[in-house]
A and B are shown apart, each in its own frame.
Chain A
Amino acid sequence: MEKRGQMQMMETVAILFIFFILISLGFIFYTQVAKQSIATKAEEFQDLTAIQVAQLAGSLPELQCSEQNIVKENCIDYLKAQAAPAILAKPEYFDVLGYATLTLQKIYPGTDEIPLYSRPLVNADNKRASFFPVAIFDPASSTTAFGVLVIEVYS
Chain B
Amino acid sequence: MELMGLAIVVILLSLAFLFVVRFVILNEPADARQSFQESELAANFLNTMLETNAPECSDATMAALIQDCANYYDLQGRITCQSQGSNLQSCEFLKFAHQDLFARTFETWKVKYYFEVYRNPQSPSTSRLTLLTQGQACTGNRRLKVQPLPVAGSTIYLGLHICS
Contacts and interface: CB of A to CB of B under 8 A. Distances in A.
Contacts of A108: 52, 97, 100-101, 104
B80 interface: no
Contact of B9 (A11, A22, A43, A148): A22
Task: Give the contact-size bracket for chain A.
Answer: 35 or more
A12 B2 CA distance: 7
Interface in B13-61: 13, 16-17, 20, 24-25, 29-34, 36-37, 40-41, 44-45, 47-49, 51-56, 59, 61
B29 A44 contact: yes
Contacts of A50: 33
Contacts of A30: 20
Nearest to B25: A33
A144 B105 contact: no
A11 B59 CA distance: 89
A71 to B, nearest CB: 15
B13 A26 contact: yes
Contact of B61 (A48, A51, A144): A144
Q: Which 8 A-B pairs have the closest CB atoms?
A: A47-B33, A143-B53, A133-B44, A146-B52, A133-B45, A133-B48, A135-B48, A40-B29
Interface of A: 11-12, 15, 18-19, 22, 26, 29-30, 33, 37, 40, 43-44, 47-48, 50-51, 74, 107-109, 128, 130-135, 143-148
